[in-house]
């Protein structure tokens, strides 16, 4: 009685239990894409995930990413710009290693390590940056769109609730621009609302910080007074009043 019913139900149950118990994670693998940097001045990475960039004269040019059934990484050339677009999920970083032949990096969140001493580098970001490495001239430009919501004067009464919440969120989500290590003769950082951290100011030469009203900066322990110039961000109309945290 009801034998076929029971057997079919047990088959469904058995299949479910087997599907739960049998799986084992696939071994971690990475896919490597060689990058042709011939004639390229600028590297742009469009990705939700953070990017580890290594600038190393001794290295080949390549990109490593975690392959997945829904991940796609496309590399295209647009004149002298190499554009990498990735939909790898945010929690899995991309690794890029290139020879230091490019002069400009356009990234969102990136950790950048420069092997030898570079001549000049411009980093354009819309997120957080961590820099390690020696360079003669380093320019970091923060184009985070969040800060467009921020009012020119943080103490000003916002026009409406949504604007106020946007301004509060701009504070809450302030990204970090960290200059961790390396000798840098001329450092220029421009941001409207991020937190600039100069971890080792003794290794920095002339420092120019162009800060918006919501931006902050902090300086690590130093044996001398750093040569630092504070300028107002042109997008913020009022007089500069950058604050230390």
Instruction: Classify residue 166 as exposed, middle or buried by CB count within 10 Å of its CB (0-12, 13-18, 19+).
Output: middle
Of 111, 147, 151, 144, the C-alpha closest to 127 is: 144
Exposure string of 49-70, with b = 16+ CB inside 10 Å and e = fewer, is bbbbbbbbeeeebebbbbeeee
Residues numbered 29 to 48 that lie near other proteins (CB under 8 A) are 29
* Nearest partner of 120 among 100, 147, 97, judged by Cα: 100
In the bound state with other proteins, the residue whose beta carbon lies nearer, of 15 and 60, is 15
- What is the Cα–Cα distance from 242 to 205, expressed in whole angstroms? 20
The reply on whether position 145 binds other proteins by CB under 8 A is no
By CB under 8 A, residue 127 contacts other proteins: no
Binding of other proteins at residue 71 (CB under 8 A)? yes
Handedness of CA 59, 198, 212, 238 (dihedral sign): negative
Stretch that binds other proteins, among 25-33, 96-104, 111-119, 223-231 (CB under 8 A): 25-33
Of residues 85 through 124, those in contact with other proteins by CB under 8 A are: 89
Q: Is the Cβ of residue 30 or residue 76 nearer to other proteins in the bound state?
A: 30
Nearer to other proteins, 92 or 176 (CB): 92
Residues 83-109 as b or e (16 or more Cβ within 10 Å = b): ebebebeeebbbbbbbbbebbbbbbbb
Give CA–CA dist 196/188, Å, rounded: 11
The single residue among 2, 58, 225, 239 that binds other proteins, judged by CB under 8 A, is 2
Min dist CB 98 to other proteins, Å, is 26
Task: Report the nearest approach of other proteins to the CB of residue 227 (Å).
Answer: 36
Stretch that binds other proteins, among 45-53, 122-130, 133-141, 165-173 (CB under 8 A): 165-173
Tell whether residue 4 is a contact of other proteins (CB under 8 A). Answer: yes
Q: Toward other proteins, which CB reaches closer, 8 or 32?
A: 8
Query: Between 6 and 80, whose beta carbon lies closer to other proteins?
Result: 6
Cα 79 to Cα 96: distance, rounded to the nearest angstrom? 20
Contact 80, 38 (CB under 8 A): no
How far apart are alpha carbons 27 and 228 in whole angstroms?
49
- The residue within the footprint of other proteins, chosen from 60, 169, 222, 237 (CB under 8 A), is 169
Q: How far is the CB of 139 from other proteins (least distance, A)?
A: 32
Whole-number minimum distance, CB 46 to other proteins, in Å?
A: 18
Residues that bind other proteins (CB under 8 A): 1-2, 4-5, 8-9, 11-13, 15-26, 29, 66-71, 89, 155, 157-165, 167-169
């Amino acid at each position: 009685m009801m034998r076929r019913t029971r057997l079919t139900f047990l088959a469904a149950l058995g299949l479910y239990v087997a599907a739960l118990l049998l799986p084992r994670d696939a071994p971690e693998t990475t896919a490597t894409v060689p990058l042709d940097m011939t004639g390229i001045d600028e590297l742009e990475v469009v990705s939700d995930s953070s990017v580890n960039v290594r600038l190393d004269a001794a290295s080949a040019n390549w990109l490593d990413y975690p392959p997945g059934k829904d991940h796609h990484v496309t590399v295209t050339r647009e004149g002298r710009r190499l554009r990498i677009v990735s939909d790898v999920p945010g929690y899995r970083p991309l690794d890029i290693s290139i020879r230091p032949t490019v002069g400009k990096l356009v990234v969102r969140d990136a950790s950048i390590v420069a092997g030898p001493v570079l001549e000049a580098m411009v980093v354009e970001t819309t997120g957080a940056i961590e820099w390690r490495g020696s360079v003669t001239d380093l320019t970091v430009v923060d184009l985070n769109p969040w800060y467009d919501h921020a009012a020119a004067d943080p103490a000003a009464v916002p026009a409406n609730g949504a604007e106020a919440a946007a301004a509060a969120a701009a504070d809450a989500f302030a990204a970090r621009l960290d200059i961790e290590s390396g000798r840098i003769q001329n450092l220029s950082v421009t941001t409207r609302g991020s937190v600039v951290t100069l971890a080792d100011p003794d290794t920095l030469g002339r420092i120019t910080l162009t800060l918006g009203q919501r931006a902050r900066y902090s300086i690590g322990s130093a044996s001398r007074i750093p040569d630092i110039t504070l300028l107002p961000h042109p997008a913020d109309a009022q007089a500069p009043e950058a604050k230390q945290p």
